[in-house]
Structure 1
Amino acid sequence: MTFASDIEIARAADMKPIGEIAAKLGIPEDALEQFGKSKAKIGADFVAGLKNRPNGKLVLVTAISPTPAGEGKTTTTVGLGDGLNRIGKRAAICLREPSLGPCFGVKGGAAGGGYAQVVPMEDINLHFTGDFHAITAAHNLLSAMIDNHIHWGNGLALDPRRVTWRRVMDMNDRALREIVCALGGVANGFPREGGFDITVASEVMAILCLATDLADLRRRLGNIVVGYTREKQPVTARDLKADGAMTVLLKDAIKPNLVQTLENNPAFIHGGPFANIAHGCNSVMATQTALKLADYVVTEAGFGADLGAEKFFDIKCRKAGLKPDAAVIVATVRALKMHGGVGRDALTQENVAAVTKGLENLGRHLRNVGQFGVPAVVAINRFVTDTDAEVEAIGRYCADYGVVAVPCTHWADGSKGTETLARKVVEIAEAGTAQFRLLYDDSMPLWEKVRTIARTIYGADDVIGDKVVRNHFRQYEDMGYGRLPVCMAKTQYSFSTDPNLKGAPTGHVVPVREVRLAAGAEFLVVVCGEIMTMPGLPRHPSAEIIEMDADGRIQGLF
């Protein structure tokens, strides 16, 4: 059986002018800042004027722990949004913008797939509206101003050995993880160690995605701690007088982007922090704007529920005052087989026993989401090779948790394939049974916040860290940052810090390697295990096959 590729399906899409898509949500033409015919930003004045409107229902789409077999979380998010519109609800979806690093690396883009995509897919996966470039420029402007300040006398007494602010680029480049900058003599500054992270790990990215307006953006940018004096006093971007210029660079990037699905339904795509090294959610401004305009807003959080969903609840909802009405946990038969011990070469063969063993992973995610008081439904993203016996095994397992599992075929059938899921989500959301609660209080000590996540979400026995790391936690508390939430940075492939440990492991410990203060984003990044904040390219990156054909069309992107 031959299927059209994602890019072929996207190119055949009957896209409507973006003004028609905006009109579905009551957005007037003069509130749009258009990027061609199919993309637009929503004007800041219009967004600000929505604040007194009531919110629609908020639905989070999350997933089991990801595997190379794929789960289709973004595809399901798009399919569910289309499904809700199909059954007569005014629905919008909220997604993150894709990073160029994974697009040219191994993961691919993030625009959905099959007949559940957002378009124009090629634009969204590449430069889109330039938001990531603006974030990269603002971040590196601050980097330049740090070294310039040191060069011209260092009036703030910033200790070059204690500069914590790194540089960023939106590409996977392992050679830049650790560098020495300012070599070449006095004219080039004072040499010091530095390094690069990928743009989606930038605190500026997190700030843009958590800011509520331009003034809040500037406040947060000014609060960024770039390093310390010899007396260990913090030096901020505001001290360097960098916050104003950084805000100027981000004045357009902060405005939410509007595009459409293949079925011409509205989609807000804005911001893109990674969930394994940042908080993994689209912007607060996009989500809040959508909630004021739609009856239902479907959003996703990156990777599995142990990362994206936990951070969506404990960071984004905490900071933005959001209260989700329902959650959808995406699973596939193929991924469950891998969690059950099956290799990639045997995923198309029926194996109910492996599915049943792999369901331990889904079970823990169900329990975890339940701890936040959010009612859930399981979406089985069905492949043509899945057998009825395998799908029925998932349904029986979920029934034991009091949760319904709904097979979905949105990849092949679009909204028709998620109509049943959409009706179940509406049933749950309208029932009003959600009793949203956070996992920990602001007042809990920072180390205990990390331990609480490790024990209750990851199934770990404990967290460990050397004396230097533990001292950093205490120092941040002494500096007044003890009430901040923690953002766990760890592998997405396992509940543990070992990416090869599938299923639902117990008895493990979570080693904390370092802790980074993100004072502007208002959380602490807790780096665990061997997770990298600058990925590398694989042996054969996607970039090797991406090119232009004789007709000027992009090939190899998907």
Structure 2
Amino acid sequence: MNTDIEIARAAHKRPIAEIAAKLGIGAQDILPYGHDKAKISRDFIAGLAGRPQGRLILVTAINPTPAGEGKTTTTVGLGDALNRLGAKATICIREASLGPNFGMKGGAAGGGRAQVIPMEDMNLHFTGDFHAITSAHNLLSAMLDNHLHWGNALDIDPRRITWRRVLDMNDRVLRDVVLGLGPGNGVPRESGFDITVASEVMAILCLSRDLDDLQDRLGRIVVAQTRDGRPVTARDLQADGAMTVLLRDALQPNLVQTLENNPALVHGGPFANIAHGCNSVIATTTALHLSDYVVTEAGFGADLGAEKFLNIKCRKAGLTPAAVVLVATVRALKMNGGVARSDLAVENIGAVQAGAANLSRHIRNLRKHGLPLVVAINHFATDTRAEIAAIEAAARALGVQAITARHWEMGGAGAEDLAREVMRLAAQPHDFRLTYPDDMPLRDKIETICTRIYGAEGAQFPPAVLARLEAWQAEYGSLPVCMAKTQYSFSANPDWLGAPEGFTIPVREVRLAAGAGFVVAICGDIMTMPGLPRDPAANRIRLGAGGHVEGLF
């Protein structure tokens, strides 16, 4: 079979105005970026208020492994399958960061016959949203340091500046830097860079309802403290207006299409291991007003992506999924069962059964939210019938059906059985529940996630972290928490696969994201600025014959 990029390049794309028309969007209501992508106008979105909404389908997964789970691929395949069955379905996914594209993970457009296109554009700059977020974030950084240079009228304490700079690239040497060296170059201080997907500005864009809400949230960003301990915000620095100007177009969702010419909204891109891991609220709600079903994904495994989707995005936006799809693969469960990547093609039913402990914990966690659930077995050619039966048995033991889907190979036609089950589940009544209430103290919210979702015995808090949480409790105690933790394990140790027990979660640091509306808990060795691997994908990405990009995956 051809590579993902070869399949995407050979696709028969329809003009983007035709895709918009499928959703009832007129040519005058889109802002084209070439022939195959466009933004949906603010005025059109504002006019949707009051329309009935379709059903929201959340796609999540077991903990990721190098063997691959195919969460985005399943999201796209399911959306195509729903359309094949006569439903009006729209796919909502996140935009791709340049960091993993040139690093190790690769792109974020799906794969095989279940992709969103144009794949090259989506993975390389797209419509410039990430660059706008990077610029707005770093404008605030520049205005903060400029304020210090020109007399510091707000009496900011340089030792209590918490706002870092961002870059949309994996670059470990920028994690810790010293700024302002040299005469006339500002106040020397220690700082650092995060990757753009971890920026609070990214989170704000993805949680904002409109431009007014965006500017209000940007103004609430806390960047530092004064010498007497008062918070300093972006509004205090008079930066919120200019930041909003930079983000004006970026707030409008991007419309593209699948290989089967079905609509997809691709907007925003916070990672789930270091941020809240969901596409934008404005894209999701726009799609819900225009569709019978909206299929969206939450980043990485359900312990991170789905937990934050439900406890942050749904809480803040008033959303309720009608059903949840939990993606698993034979290969990934084998790795969770102790099989080396080089041996995954060999049948090993025992390893699948052992690795299914990871699947089972995710099933139990998701059922705590009171939502209808189905397991999607993303099929690989090396899977055997006995191995698939082992997954089906593990799911059935917990009262959940597991359905094999072949969308990677067959597109939407390979996911029709999954789509029928999703439609059946989505029509059922449900009792959606969050993991914790708003009025629970911040420390207890963190511990509740650690014990109820991760299966930990508790969380470890250094005295400085406890002091900071206590200081925030009075004003920010009602906010949800955003856990920054390794995606590979329920624990904070990426090597502890399966369903580990008897561990605690070390909370190394906490950060206040007052504009986004959550508190970030950084756990273990997780980094908010990743590094490139020993053999990065960038080594193989180049222009080939005819100027086509080669090496993207």
TM-score greater than 0.5 by the shorter chain = yes
Offset at residue 287 of structure 1 (A): 0.1
Question: Which of 100, 103, 109 is the matching residue for 2:101?
Answer: 103
| Correspondence 1:269 to 2:271 | no
Offset at residue 538 of structure 1 (A): 0.5
Offset at residue 430 of structure 1 (A): 1.1
Paired with 1:426 and 1:40, the residues of 2 have a C-alpha distance of 29
> Which residue number corresponds to residue 248 of structure 1?
245
Question: Which of 489, 492, 503 is the matching residue for 1:497?
Answer: 492
> Which residue number corresponds to residue 87 of structure 1?
85
Which SS does the other structure have where 1:525 is aligned? strand
Question: Which of 446, 451, 459 is the matching residue for 1:450?
Answer: 446
CA deviation map 1:78-104 (0-9, x unaligned): 000000000000000000000000000
Q: Which residue type is aligned with residue 188 of structure 1?
A: N
Map 1:451-470; keep pairs closer than 5 Å. 451-470=447-466
> Which residue number corresponds to residue 509 of structure 1?
504
Question: Which of 267, 273, 280 is the matching residue for 2:277?
Answer: 280
> Which residue number corresponds to residue 421 of structure 1?
418
Paired with 1:182 and 1:397, the residues of 2 have a C-alpha distance of 58
Q: Post-superposition, which runs of at least 4 consecutive aligned residues in structure 1 deviate over 3 A?
A: none
Question: Which of 112, 116, 119 is the matching residue for 2:117?
Answer: 119
Paired with 1:174 and 1:467, the residues of 2 have a C-alpha distance of 28
Which SS does the other structure have where 1:280 is aligned? coil
Paired with 1:394 and 1:548, the residues of 2 have a C-alpha distance of 42
Offset at residue 290 of structure 1 (A): 0.2
Offset at residue 231 of structure 1 (A): 1.4
Do the aligned residues in 2 keep the contact of 1:59 with 1:299 (CA within 8 Å)? yes
> Which residue number corresponds to residue 205 of structure 2?
208
Q: Percent identity, aligned pairs only?
A: 66
Which SS does the other structure have where 1:158 is aligned? coil
Do the aligned residues in 2 keep the contact of 1:158 with 1:235 (CA within 8 Å)? yes
CA deviation map 1:415-456 (0-9, x unaligned): 11000000000000012x221111100000000000100000
> Which residue number corresponds to residue 152 of structure 2?
154
Which SS does the other structure have where 1:364 is aligned? helix
CA deviation map 1:48-86 (0-9, x unaligned): 110100110000000000000000000000000000000
Q: Which residue type is aligned with residue 518 of structure 2?
A: F
Offset at residue 401 of structure 1 (A): 1.1
Question: Which of 349, 352, 358 is the matching residue for 1:361?
Answer: 358
CA deviation map 1:361-407 (0-9, x unaligned): 00000011111111110000010100000001111111111111000
> Which residue number corresponds to residue 480 of structure 2?
485
Paired with 1:42 and 1:10, the residues of 2 have a C-alpha distance of 23
Map 1:61-460; keep pairs closer than 5 Å. 61-185=59-183, 187-431=184-428, 433-460=429-456
Which SS does the other structure have where 1:188 is aligned? coil
Provide structure 2 residue ranges, at least 5 long, that are not aligned to the other structure.
none
Q: Which residue type is aligned with residue 57 of structure 2?
A: V
Offset at residue 544 of structure 1 (A): 0.9
CA deviation map 1:329-375 (0-9, x unaligned): 00000000000010001100000000000000000000111111111
Paired with 1:51 and 1:300, the residues of 2 have a C-alpha distance of 24
Paired with 2:393 and 2:173, the residues of 1 have a C-alpha distance of 49
Q: Which residue type is aligned with residue 7 of structure 2?
A: I
Paired with 1:19 and 1:373, the residues of 2 have a C-alpha distance of 39
TM-score normalised by length of structure 1: 0.99
Do the aligned residues in 2 keep the contact of 1:59 with 1:296 (CA within 8 Å)? yes
Offset at residue 549 of structure 1 (A): 1.4
CA deviation map 1:442-500 (0-9, x unaligned): 0000000001000000000010111111101001113x000000000000000000000
Which SS does the other structure have where 1:551 is aligned? helix
Q: Which residue type is aligned with residue 422 of structure 2?
A: V
Do the aligned residues in 2 keep the contact of 1:290 with 1:297 (CA within 8 Å)? yes
Question: Which of 530, 536, 540 is the matching residue for 2:535?
Answer: 540
Paired with 1:277 and 1:95, the residues of 2 have a C-alpha distance of 18
Which SS does the other structure have where 1:275 is aligned? coil
Paired with 2:148 and 2:12, the residues of 1 have a C-alpha distance of 55
Q: Which residue type is aligned with residue 473 of structure 2?
A: E
Do the aligned residues in 2 keep the contact of 1:221 with 1:246 (CA within 8 Å)? yes
Q: Which residue type is aligned with residue 439 of structure 1?
A: T
Paired with 1:448 and 1:506, the residues of 2 have a C-alpha distance of 20
Offset at residue 550 of structure 1 (A): 3.3
Question: Which of 16, 25, 28 is the matching residue for 1:27?
Answer: 25
Paired with 1:416 and 1:217, the residues of 2 have a C-alpha distance of 40
Offset at residue 46 of structure 1 (A): 0.5
Paired with 1:11 and 1:330, the residues of 2 have a C-alpha distance of 27
Do the aligned residues in 2 keep the contact of 1:314 with 1:485 (CA within 8 Å)? yes
Paired with 1:466 and 1:118, the residues of 2 have a C-alpha distance of 44
Paired with 2:229 and 2:403, the residues of 1 have a C-alpha distance of 55
Paired with 1:311 and 1:130, the residues of 2 have a C-alpha distance of 26
Paired with 2:86 and 2:399, the residues of 1 have a C-alpha distance of 27
Paired with 1:124 and 1:88, the residues of 2 have a C-alpha distance of 27
| Of 218-227 and 540-549, the range deviating more from structure 2 | 540-549
Paired with 1:147 and 1:99, the residues of 2 have a C-alpha distance of 27
> Which residue number corresponds to residue 527 of structure 1?
522
Paired with 2:197 and 2:132, the residues of 1 have a C-alpha distance of 12
Paired with 2:9 and 2:171, the residues of 1 have a C-alpha distance of 31
CA deviation map 1:28-55 (0-9, x unaligned): 1110000000000000010011010011
Paired with 1:249 and 1:461, the residues of 2 have a C-alpha distance of 45
Paired with 1:501 and 1:358, the residues of 2 have a C-alpha distance of 12
Offset at residue 293 of structure 1 (A): 0.2
Do the aligned residues in 2 keep the contact of 1:495 with 1:504 (CA within 8 Å)? yes
Offset at residue 524 of structure 1 (A): 0.3
Do the aligned residues in 2 keep the contact of 1:132 with 1:170 (CA within 8 Å)? yes
Do the aligned residues in 2 keep the contact of 1:324 with 1:434 (CA within 8 Å)? no
Map 1:32-47; keep pairs closer than 5 Å. 32-47=30-45
Q: Which residue type is aligned with residue 143 of structure 1?
A: S
Which SS does the other structure have where 1:183 is aligned? coil
Q: Which residue type is aligned with residue 123 of structure 2?
A: N
Which SS does the other structure have where 2:427 is aligned? helix
